[in-house]
Structure 1
Amino acid sequence: MPESTDPLDQLPDDVAAAAFRRLVRHLRHRHDAENIELMGLAGFCRNCLADWIRDGGYEGDKGSARELIHGMPMDEWKDRFQSEATPEQIARMEASLARNQGT
């Protein structure tokens, strides 16, 4: 397999890990940035980050990965911070997800 030419792959793991932790802590602080809004805008959310750490080798199950990212059990986070998604939010999310093909 050829070596990647993407400079991101040359970033030292400790630097990448520090940036990832800062992103997760930022999202833990910004509960007003709901997952459905993140999905609609950027095509990823906290739950995606939980999936990605599992894809990267995290040995915990889906629930423990989400708790690690959310900073609390998923059910508690949903009860405290998640509102019902509107049809418009769902439509934006679906359109945004369609743009993720190939990433």
Structure 2
Amino acid sequence: MTIDDIDDRAAAAAFRRLVRHLQHRDDAQNIDLMGLAGFCRNCLSDWLTEAVAGEHDKDSVREAVYGMPYADWKARQPAATPEQLARMEASVARNRAG
């Protein structure tokens, strides 16, 4: 089976569960997600904005993913450390290689 074999309704339910999990786990900073997995909440909102192709604007999609206005989320986050930034850069480089 591949991801494309999964029914869209089931995939959408799993996506919503992932987003709710990330909203609940606001201690998981985007910089750490990027450093570990090469994606973050911004990536999810960008991918969703592309998927809805003009049905919703980027800001409203981002608010749906974050569970609050993005500016509010960003204001609550601590500044990234040099180590976090280095991990993120190395992880993002792996995205480009794949």
TM-score scaled by length of structure 1: 0.88
Range with greater deviation from structure 2 (53-62 or 64-73) = 53-62
Would you identify which runs of 4 or more consecutive aligned residues in structure 1 move more than 4 Å? none
**Residue 95 (str. 1) matches residue 93 (str. 2):** no
CA positional deviation for 1:78: 1.4
**Structure 1 CA distance for aligned equivalents of residues 73 and 47 of structure 2:** 19
Match of 1:35 among 25, 30, 33: 30
Larger helix fraction of residues = 2
| Matched position secondary structure for 2:15 | helix
**Residue 75 (str. 1) matches residue 66 (str. 2):** no
Asked which structure has the greater CA Rg, the reply is 1
Q: 1:102 to 1:8 in 2, by over 3 A?
A: farther
**Structure 2 CA distance for aligned equivalents of residues 22 and 34 of structure 1:** 18
TM-score scaled by length of structure 2: 0.92
CA RMSD after TM alignment: 1.4
Unaligned runs of 5+ in 1: 1-5
What CA deviation, in whole Å up to 9, does each residue of 1:28-51 have, x standing for no partner? Answer: 000100000000000000000000
The share of aligned pairs that are identical, in percent, is 63
**Structure 2 CA distance for aligned equivalents of residues 79 and 57 of structure 1:** 27
1:3 maps to what in 2? none
What CA deviation, in whole Å up to 9, does each residue of 1:53-76 have, x standing for no partner? Answer: 011125222211110100000011
